[in-house]
Structure 1
Amino acid sequence: MKLETRVMRSIARRHSIVILRSELAALGSPAQLSRVLSTLVKSKRLVRVSVGIYAKTRLNKFTNELAPAAPFETIAAQVFKKLKIDVAPGELARDYNASKTTQVPMLAVVNTGGRRITRKIQVGSKTVTYERRSVNQRKERQP
């Protein structure tokens, strides 16, 4: 059986939309896996989200083209969960959820606490932006 067939079967059996390269590592050598994943991305059966992170696609019933199988926010949340990174909504989203403002946040901003993250998570033109502790939290910690 071809490696591409085994990889697609493994991906189809997974409930998660996000697939890590490390989850597929047992199926073949790193070079073979790179070639197969590259082929799947070019054929739009997978979407590359970040280095070593891919998302499943499904047929969009309106355009009849393959598109990510979930909204960007869901994909980003699953990525952070799989990477075991604790994040919270950004300051703008917190203000909106607490009814402090009526402006809906348009950007995907997450608060990483004190943790510094540089991983770029992107699907199409949407990208996750990181914010660390707010200015008020920094002032409270200083003596």
Structure 2
Amino acid sequence: MTAVECIYQKIKRSRRYVFERKDFDDVASYDQVGRALRQLVKQGDLIKIGYGLYTKAKLNSLTGKPMPTHPGGTDALMREILKMKGVDFEMDSLSWQSLSGQSTQIPSSVQYSWNPKQFNRKLVVGNRVLNSQN
């Protein structure tokens, strides 16, 4: 089984939606993992969302472009990344009320804030950009 096949199987079996390059260190060498991840991104099975961060993807039936498979959408994907990295973050009050069930109004986008010394990367999922200036 090739490195691409091993990594693809590991991703498909996982319950997680966000992966780091180091998650596949046990599969192959650093360079092989990089080539395999690039190939999976090219095939549309993964989306690169930041430096060393990838998410599961599927092809959008309307546009034919890869989109994240996370059932909670891009906001849940961003929360998973921040939790995975151990970053203490806060959401704006309207988003927090909506997610906790205190409000029926749904915000158009969730605004996050955190200490940029903890996590200083730019994450891009589709049109959504998340960086420490938010």
Q: TM-score range by the shorter chain?
A: 0.7 to 0.9
Match for residue 51 of structure 2?
A: 51
Does residue 1:84 correspond to 2:110, yes or no? no
Bigger shift: residues 11-20 or 84-93: 84-93
Structure 1 residue 118: Cα displacement: 2.1
Structure 1 residue 42: Cα displacement: 1.1
Matched residue count: 127
| Secondary structure, aligned partner of 1:130 | coil
Superposition TM-score, scaled by structure 2 size: 0.78
Q: Is the CA contact 1:108–1:127 (under 8 Å) kept in the aligned structure 2?
A: no
Residue ranges of structure 1 left out of the alignment (5+ in a row): 133-143
RMSD, aligned CA: 2.7
CA deviations 1:77-115 (Å, max 9, x no partner) are 11111111111103664688887xx8x654442121x45
Give 4+ residue runs of structure 1 displaced > 6 Å after superposition.
95-99
Q: Which has the larger radius of gyration?
A: 1
Structure 1 residue 122: Cα displacement: 0.9
Alpha-carbon distance between aligned partners in 2 of 1:41 and 1:121, rounded to the nearest angstrom:
16
Percent of residue pairs bearing the same amino acid type = 22
Letter in structure 2 aligned against 1:79: I
Structure 1 residue 63: Cα displacement: 2.6
Match for residue 63 of structure 1?
A: 62
Match for residue 121 of structure 2?
A: 119
Match for residue 111 of structure 2?
A: 109
Superposition TM-score, scaled by structure 1 size: 0.74
